[in-house]
Amino acid sequence: MPLPDAPDYSKRIYELLKETDLENLSYAQFQGVAEKLFIEPENEDEMRRLVLVQLARMAVRGDWDGFLTGGGASGAPTDAEYVVMALNGTLTNERKLTAGSRITISDGGAGGNVTIAADASPVTSLVAGTNITLSPVSGLGDVTITAATPTGLAPNDASYLTLGLDGDLTNERVLTAGSGIAFTDTGPNGALTIEATGGGGGTGYQPVLPDRDGSFPASNRELYLVSCMPPWGNTQSSSTSSTTASNNPYFRPFISPVTGTVTEIQVNVNSAADTPDYTIGIYSDSGGLPNSKITEGTISISATGVLALTSFSGTPALVAGTQYHFAWVRKDTSGAGNFTAESADTCFKYSPVSQTFPNLTSIGNSGAVIALSSGSPNALPATVSTGNLNPFSNNPIRFGLRWD
């Protein structure tokens, strides 16, 4: 049915839009037809037909929003990157709002609110374990977790004596070896042995010997002829060969003139013929007798003259004014060893002699040294068994010590 008072056929609107259905008629096509229409009385019928087509197009496509708000086809673009609650067939670039892990979305409907919240359901409650308290007990809100001091454990602020500092203790002391003291720690569940490296002999007679702190020139402070110093040294400058070789160790006491670590032991070889290797060492003192081995080294006799031992097993740390024992033994049974030695006839007696000594008029040289009569063939023992010690008349090896 044509519009009232209008021709049946539109030569403009219907001609330009023919063969286009309302569902596929875009606003751009409609605008292209409408914008060329002049507003004048002669075009009144065409404008009414134009409004009719637009109403029909909007009814079919569902574009009423823009029409009702006065925007017409100038509404929001369909290809914008919208976030929507559900996908829409007209939009081409929207994203659907979706809840991820531990997130909930509550949709209040059109005109309402969309609420996004964190889902707390994986943690239902806090439960206090052993020696743990919660405040508040419910575990809700701001919760303070406190660890209680377990029963049966020692406090960490006691004045413990330890072998090293510990980060968990606040008032401990570290056990430290002072001068003349050595520790032997065998580890956890083992024993800690505290031993005096200087030995005995310091409670009574203590001769004072010049230390390197004196005014001597440096060249005269290097070598101490300890076997010639008091009280156990020899005052005679003459020497004799050490002709008695034994497979058991010999010992002769001496007083250290210096506090420090010995860097060299010197001896003199008279003959390099038929001479075995020798082990020489230094022992601590206990009650005037050799006790524990402090250090030792091997002398390989390959030539005559002074031999200097500089490589030791164990640290020869000595204390001035403290008594020690010089020890020597051949390492094998061949050869005697020919060293410059102090004469036993002119050495101070060191050990007791038999009560049946035949004649005090001529006392001989017995007791110049003591030896282990058994128990340590061709080696220096770690500790000396005093029950196996006996006096001998052998010549003690002349030796010097250096503290560089």
Least confidently predicted of 208-217, 235-244, 324-333, 360-369: 208-217
pLDDT at position 202: 43
Q: Which of 122-131, 214-223, 301-310 has the highest mean pLDDT?
A: 301-310
pLDDT at 206: 58
pLDDT of residue 250: 93
Q: What is the mean pLDDT of the chain?
A: 79
Q: How far is Cα of residue 62 from the mean position of the Cα atoms in its chain?
A: 76
**Closest residue by Cα to residue 299 from 342, 329, 322, 323:** 329
pLDDT tier for residue 317 given thresholds of 50, 70 and 90: very high
In this prediction, residue 176 carries a pLDDT of: 86
Is 80 exceeded by the pLDDT of residue 2?
A: no
Residue 265, strand partner residues? 309, 401
- Dump pLDDT digits (tens) for 59-102: 776 666 555 544 445 567 888 888 888 888 788 888 888 988 77
Residue 386 has pLDDT above 90, yes or no: no
- How far is residue 289's CA from residue 249's CA, in Å, rounded to a whole number? 13
Residue 202 burial (CB count, 10 A): 16
Is the distance from CB of 378 to CB of 270 less than 8 angstroms? no
pLDDT at 263: 93
Please classify residue 68 by burial: count the beta carbons closer than 10 Å to its beta carbon, then call 0-12 exposed, 13-18 middle and 19+ buried: exposed
The answer to whether residues 197 and 180 touch, using CB atoms and an 8 Å cutoff, is: yes
Are the C-beta atoms of residues 60 and 20 closer than 8 Å to each other? no
Mean pLDDT calculated for residue range 101-112? 84
Return the residue matching tokens 């420090």: 260
- Locate the domains of the chain by residue range: 161-196, 218-402
DSSP string, 136-194: STT--SS-EEEEPPPTTPPPTTS--EESS--TT-SS-EE----TTEEEEE--TTS-EEE
Interatomic CA distance for residues 285 and 262, integer angstroms:
17
pLDDT at 24 over 80: no
Reported confidence tier of residue 290, pLDDT bands at 50, 70, 90: very high
What percentage of residues in the chain have a pLDDT greater than 90? Answer: 18
- Helix axis angle for 44-61 and 27-34, nearest 10°, is 180
Query: What pLDDT score was predicted for residue 122?
Result: 57
Pick the most confident of 54-58, 183-187, 254-258, 269-273.
Answer: 254-258
Do residues 209 and 321 make contact, with C-beta atoms less than 8 angstroms apart? yes
Of 139, 169, 141, 167, nearest to 154 by C-alpha is 169
**Residue labelled with tokens 């991820």:** 100
| Residue 166, amino acid | D
pLDDT given at position 358? 67
pLDDT band for position 200 (50/70/90)? Answer: very low
Residue 52, H or E segment:
helix 44-61
- In terms of average pLDDT, the best of 243-247, 274-278, 284-288 is 284-288
Average pLDDT on 171-176 reads: 86
- Least confidently predicted of 37-46, 130-139, 282-291, 323-332: 37-46
Q: 109-155: per-residue pLDDT in tens?
A: 888 888 888 776 555 677 888 778 888 876 667 788 887 766 667 78
For 106, residues 6+ apart whose C-beta sits below 8 A from its C-beta are 113, 114, 115, 117
- Give φ, ψ of 55 to 5 degrees: -60, -40
| pLDDT recorded at residue 199 | 47
pLDDT digits (tens, 9 = 90+) for 202-218: 444 556 666 555 556 65
Query: How many other CB atoms are found less than 10 A from the CB of residue 156?
Result: 13
Q: Is 322:285 a contact under the CB 8 Å cutoff?
A: yes
Residue 185, pLDDT above cutoff 60: yes
- For residue 51, the number of C-alpha atoms closer than 13 Å in the C-beta half-sphere is 6
Burial class of 129 by CB neighbour count within 10 A (0 to 12, 13 to 18, 19+): exposed
Among residues 150, 85, 134, which one has the least CA distance to residue 111? 85
Q: Does 5 score more than 90 pLDDT?
A: no
Residue 131: both structure tokens together: 């020696």
CA 178, distance to chain mean position in Å, is 26
